[in-house]
Amino acid sequence: MALLTLDDLSLAFRGVHVLDNVSRFVESGEKIGLLGRNGTGKTTLLRMIAGDQEPDAGTCVLASGKRASFLPQEVPGDLSGQVFGVVQEALSLQVSEGQIETWEAEAKSKQIIDLMGLDSDVDISSLSAGRKRRVLLARALVTEPDLLLLDEPTNHLDLPTIEWLEARLSSHQGALVIISHDRA
């Protein structure tokens, strides 16, 4: 069975179809890159898969018991709290369902924060756009999702962080859907 099933997804904005009858299976471990001009529906499709955007028609189904994690293109305006709390929050469902213990969530959060070169105790509102993106990236990666959705993951990142991310994604065991305008 497919990890993700997209079946006849359609969406129009002001009468203009952005997505029209999109169907696709995504298998576990598959790596997919979405490339295209601005306004062609790449981000909209990722938002549908993440459950943040409803289609006008069609369905988007993640296989039962599987986890997806989404790195949005823009930093949400309502993002607040200390870096540690923002990252650890991504694991709250796994803790509440007994999939991992609280101490494991804390250890995993601390490890990814350290790998990203972040300070756990800093308030996210005081960070630069690049540092905020690192926090969001840490939050997306810490859950070790079956499906990782990344919208322009290199935005605001420096070269060493981009190289680290490239290595991390090449070893990611789950499926990956990534949007990039990078031509390199």
CA pair distance 61, 42, nearest whole angstrom: 18
Q: Per-residue pLDDT for 184 more than 60?
A: no
User: What digits encode the pLDDT tens for the residues 8-54?
Assistant: 999 998 888 899 999 999 999 999 999 888 878 899 999 999 999 99
Nearest C-alpha neighbor of 45 from the set 31, 33, 28: 33
- Torsion sign over Cα 169, 92, 70, 157: negative
Q: Per-residue pLDDT for 5 more than 70?
A: yes
CA dihedral 74, 79, 81, 86 (to 10 degrees): -60
**178 pLDDT band (50/70/90 cuts)?**
very high
Please give the domain boundaries of the chain with CATH numbers for all domains: 4-179 (3.40.50.300)
Average pLDDT, the chain: 90
- Torsion sign over Cα 110, 74, 6, 182: negative
What number of residues does the chain have? 184
Average pLDDT on 113-139 reads 91
- Torsion sign over Cα 158, 160, 162, 168: negative
User: What digits encode the pLDDT tens for the residues 89-108?
Assistant: 999 888 888 888 999 999 99
Residue 171 CB burial class (10 angstroms; 0-12, 13-18, ≥19): exposed
Give residue 100's Cα distance to chain centre. Answer: 20
Whole-structure pTM value = 0.89
Q: Per-residue pLDDT for 182 more than 60?
A: no
